[in-house]
Amino acid sequence: MPRHLVVPYRDALFASKDARGDLVRGGRGGGWVWRPSVDIELPHGQGPCRFVHGLQADARNVARRLHTCAVQGHYHTEFHVRYEAGPRGPIWGVTAGCLIDDSSMAFAYNKTTPARPSLGCVVIRHAVPILVPMLTDHRSGRWIGVIP
């Protein structure tokens, strides 16, 4: 395939760059913007929380490096919250697991790895992260329809 036909996957989703360099998707998802990270102010004076795709496997180290609470994805087999006391109070790092379909062809590379994906998501309520695992049937690996 000619090199000029190969584009980043975001461009393939009809994204273009705005004046800041952020990728903006037009069309059906008009107004969507991809950023390398997003900071959201936590309530009760807890400071900001940084959301990133993934910087390193231990989310506490990410929070420590950023000097703020942090949530990341990418590490499919990790699903945890780790706390640490900081000079301004507690900080935490969350690795949010994933919501992938492990049987998808996109994840065929993962078949030889003994560790399986940790399916779940994170809810942050009153500046406290709560892990919500996705309960699956041990035979089929499919969600059983129950939110704990």
Containing domain of residue 84, as a range? 37-148
Q: What is the mean pLDDT of the chain?
A: 81
Residue 129 in any domain: the answer is: yes
Give the pLDDT confidence score for residue 98 in this predicted structure.
77
Give the pLDDT confidence score for residue 82 in this predicted structure.
95
CA–CA separation, 148 vs 109, rounded Å? Answer: 30
If you ran DSSP here, which 8-state letter would residue 31 be given?
T
Provide the domain count of the chain: 1
Q: What is the pTM of this model?
A: 0.74
Residue 26 in any domain: the answer is: no
pLDDT in tens, 25-79: 655 555 666 788 999 999 988 889 999 988 888 899 999 999 899 999 888 888 9
Residue 127 in any domain: the answer is: yes
Q: In what order do the strands lie in the sheet with 69-72?
A: 37-42, 47-52, 69-72, 89-96, 79-86
Residue 137 in any domain: the answer is: yes
For the chain, what percent of residues have pLDDT higher than 70?
A: 82
